Amino acid sequence: MPRLLLCGLLLLPPLAQAVLFDRHNVDDFLSKLGSDQQADVSHGVDWGIIPGPFYTPELGVGVGVAAVGLYRPDTRQQHTPLSTLSLSGFASSTGAFGLGYENSTFLQNDRWRFYLEGDLSHRPLRFWGVGYQAGHSQRGKQSYDASRFSAQPQLLYQLAAHTYAGVGWSLAYERASELQNKPSGSLFAQPSLAVFSSGGSLLFSYDTRDFLANPSRGQVLNLSYTRYSTALGGDNRFNAWDAQYGTYHGLNDSTLLAWELYGRITDGNVPWTMLSQLGDSHHLRGYFQGRYRDRDMLTSQLELRKKLSWRHGVVAWLGAGTLSSRENQLLNGHWLPSVGVGYRFEFKKRMNVRLDYGLGQHSSGFYFQVGEAF
């Protein structure tokens, strides 16, 4: 999902004044919100709350509140990774508002893994059309209001060391309303302005990361196949294959090099709401989300992460992405660049607030969120 844990930190009036002068005051203020760089899960979920402003190209300026909880379903199983639960709400200057959620639960000494993510939102957006040329054009974009609900539960079982397989379910509903103009190739040309998609997934994961929300070492390979069908209540029949590979290599105690390769391929009667999209807070930062969309996409990004003193950290990245209507033409398409820098503030143990500035082709954007991009 466009994950919407959008929040700022240093612009909060009571905190901004403190951060410029005294670390002790900042620590004391954050501890009252549960953000004390500790993880005490002996009495249940250890919550940390962060409110603040944000800005993204598609949402504009807004205010969000994120609550992040760390826990263990069974506190006797100390070797099980910490589970995480993130809840967020936001409202922005464009009239957008919504709720987002993300959960990773590890059970029975990590023999079972349960993941859940989704959102409920209303956002003014734009539609350029389908394909690179449509997104690249400075003309023809159509403004509309998008009402959206999504949920993706997944359950995986350990087959061998670091190796998991399982099943999932993907639900997504999106409706376009308040269409403001009628350019060629606009949403009026689509079969339906309201689309419900429902599909069952087969999943495979090889994961040696030490902490999913902010790895310091390891690698991950995630593969999924989802069959969307009218038999499951959806409006269309189509298939989606997703593949992600990431690796995390420590250069020294404070410096990490992270690399990710991500691809998505679809076929069948793919509705406009479920086309692959370049440009969001996780893949190809710096582009308006949904500006570039087509059946298939491929992105790659390399990020250097540096931990500074106290709670501070910085990152720099470069990446590229492409899309196509045919998978055999994907590598021959137009490649869109993405470069940027970011600031990190550790508000909870190994959980960062990030402020990223991404620069794309004739496009740029700021991102305030909880957690790393990948």
| Residue range 28-65, pLDDT digits in tens | 666 655 556 666 777 778 888 877 677 776 777 888 88
| Residue range 85-104, pLDDT digits in tens | 988 888 988 889 999 999 99
User: Distance between CA atoms of 59 and 32, rounded to whole angstroms?
Assistant: 30
What Cα–Cα distance (Å) separates residue 147 from each residue in 70, 244, 253, 289? 30, 28, 45, 15
What are the structural domain ranges in the chain?
13-370
**How are beta strands 46-56 and 83-92 bridged, if at all?**
unpaired
User: Distance between CA atoms of 305 and 117, rounded to whole angstroms?
Assistant: 26
Task: Output the six-digit token pair for 147.
Answer: 């009402």
Task: Provide the CA 183 distance to its chain's centre, in angstroms.
Answer: 30
> In 3-state terms, what secondary structure has residue 143?
strand
Nearest to 301 by CA among 374, 230, 232: 374
User: Distance between CA atoms of 210 and 273, rounded to whole angstroms?
Assistant: 34
Host H or E run for residue 320 = strand 312-324
The predicted model scores a pTM of 0.84
CA-derived radius of gyration, the chain: 20
User: Distance between CA atoms of 146 and 179, rounded to whole angstroms?
Assistant: 10
Return the minimum-mean-pLDDT range out of 33-42, 224-233, 304-313, 356-365.
Answer: 33-42
Helix-strand-coil split of the chain, %, nearest 5: 10, 55, 35
> Is pLDDT above 50 for 8?
no
Res 4: pLDDT: 35
Task: Output the six-digit token pair for 68.
Answer: 């992040």
- Which amino acid is residue 263, in one-letter code? G
CATH number of 13-370: 2.40.160.50
Q: Running DSSP on this structure, what letter comes out for residue 365? A: E
| Residue range 11-20, pLDDT digits in tens | 344 444 444 4
User: Distance between CA atoms of 365 and 162, rounded to whole angstroms?
Assistant: 36
Res 247: pLDDT: 98
* Residues 165/204, Cβ–Cβ less than 8 Å: yes
* Residues 29/128, Cβ–Cβ less than 8 Å: no
274 strand-pairing partners: none
> In 3-state terms, what secondary structure has residue 272?
helix
Residue 351 binned pLDDT confidence (cut-offs 50, 70, 90): confident
Mean pLDDT of the chain: 85
Q: How far apart, in Å, do the first and last CA atoms of the chain sit?
A: 13
Residue 22 binned pLDDT confidence (cut-offs 50, 70, 90): low
